[in-house]
Structure 1
């Protein structure tokens, strides 16, 4: 009997508690491997394996490059590495970031969909923005099952809501109901399930995340020039019709962005540029004041007045920049990408 034997899980802000609840309720004889991506900082050591290992009966540990996928085991993506499914093994990659993240959910989901088709269950939990949406669409396109935490109970509903509205879901459940649902899904016979052939785009995008030369050296690379710059490398972005109805952007070296993630990162860059402008203006005010004082000491009243006027004008410009920064923050234009 063919069964679903891979569960991929994506979580970000607010995702620790539903992750813990999921792992705590899974049975010790779960006939599937569980692969988890939680957005974590690139530097340091993730505490997630130490949190999940004692939470339930399944052993949980940091994913190791080349290790076989172990049924009844939880493989956790390490910091600064995508975790992928390839030839029945875990593969780690420092490939291009997706939606500003490495590890990211989309490369994992996409690779699992290509490897196992109907044998995959994708789960999207609490988190900001929309990582996991494109990957969940890929899983559904290959005949797998999509499960989404109910956005109404998620601490950060962005990720589950995006997945639900764009990729769609076969099940929308509360975190407490996830373990029983996943156990049931992994014991169903999927021998007769339709296994759709992967689209050329899905295969090309999956290859981008793997170690080694990426798939975007092909002169027939997917997408059309978008007239936008990549926030990660300043390269040209190409507009790519992604899995399902999701529009995304990729640069030549492979960094990928959803529209929401790109807007959020542009907001961060805009705020950073404004702070640089404000610092430059404040420096200019300080220099003009110092020069005015020096001119006064030398008895050059006209020169001192000119510097004082310049200081006042520059100070007004600095105040305008401060108000603009405050307005951007109030409007959410500088929304933070939660890691």
Structure 2
């Protein structure tokens, strides 16, 4: 098998600490190009290149659309752009968000796998929820190497833990072990561990609406991994879908409680102006008061 000279690394929460620690121990003569996607706000000042350049011997910079790929460099996804790898060059995409993120780890992993196949080493570090898991599955399906930070030491264990649960990760390594492993893989013509057999994805219809655009979504099962996709191009992992749907319900309960309080205030005003003889109004107030108490319990405001 070819050397792994295309290294793609994904991180989210905790990445500002994990990534410099990893880059500090990569050799200056690394015969591979390194690509990094970390979840950042679209309004981020983009300080990651400076942090990584100071941390180790390799020069780090935000990727530029269309620039050629060179070994010994670190290319970082800029805020609000997906980093996409093509043969010999980098593209920056302002395409649909995936897992509610742009830049998204899955996009980078998936494009690297499609363009470079066996030459890819995919690394998933600390982070919340499940971005990077489906992308790492794509790396595995194209016979690349999959590496996950040991969830026991990750600042936020959800992303690496979901990868370990969802696919047959080849290497589960501590952060201080990953640089030596990547160095060895970048010069070796043999992988140290054999990836699992390819698995065909299974597409199913669902009753789910896209949390980004509201469109209908299909479910794609990739072994033990499940991803939801809409026709616009948004993709959302199962864990991210659950969290986002929960947040939506909580927001709607808060809105309903606020509207309920305002409605009761108006009903009491009307009662004062119409006098005590309005039995229909009293019944409406009693009904809406009961509804408000239910909403308070659902929102947790009854404990305040």
* CA shift in 2, pair 1:288/1:24, >3 Å: same
Q: Contact (CA 8 Å) 2:83, 2:91: kept in 1 or not?
A: yes
Q: Does 1:302 align with 2:277?
A: yes
SS at match of 1:301: coil
TM-score normalised per structure 1: 0.81
* 1:290-317 C-alpha deviation (Å, 9 max, x unpaired): 223334xxxx2324x7656644542332
In structure 2, the residue matched to 1:293 is 272
In structure 1, the residue matched to 2:217 is 237
How far has the Cα of 1:142 moved from its partner?
1.4
Q: Contact (CA 8 Å) 2:87, 2:116: kept in 1 or not?
A: no
How far has the Cα of 1:180 moved from its partner?
1.6
In structure 1, the residue matched to 2:289 is 315
In structure 1, the residue matched to 2:252 is 273
Q: Contact (CA 8 Å) 1:118, 1:194: kept in 2 or not?
A: no
> Hey, which of these two has a bigger chunk of strand by percent?
2
In structure 2, the residue matched to 1:252 is 231
* CA shift in 2, pair 1:114/1:164, >3 Å: same
How far has the Cα of 1:45 moved from its partner?
2.9
Gaps of 5+ in 2: none
Pairing 1:1-339 to 2, within 5 Å after superposition: 2-190=2-190, 223-242=203-222, 244-295=223-274, 300-303=275-278, 307=281, 310-311=284-285, 313-326=287-300
Partner Cα distance (1:283, 1:268) in 2: 23
Gaps of 5+ in 1: 202-221, 328-339
TM-score normalised per structure 2: 0.90
Q: Contact (CA 8 Å) 2:148, 2:169: kept in 1 or not?
A: yes
How many residues align structurally? 300
* 1:35-66 C-alpha deviation (Å, 9 max, x unpaired): 11111122343222222221111111111111
Q: Contact (CA 8 Å) 1:284, 1:311: kept in 2 or not?
A: no
Q: Contact (CA 8 Å) 1:285, 1:314: kept in 2 or not?
A: yes
Partner Cα distance (2:265, 2:239) in 1: 39
Partner Cα distance (1:157, 1:274) in 2: 30
Partner Cα distance (2:287, 2:46) in 1: 49
Q: Contact (CA 8 Å) 2:140, 2:195: kept in 1 or not?
A: no
How far has the Cα of 1:90 moved from its partner?
0.9
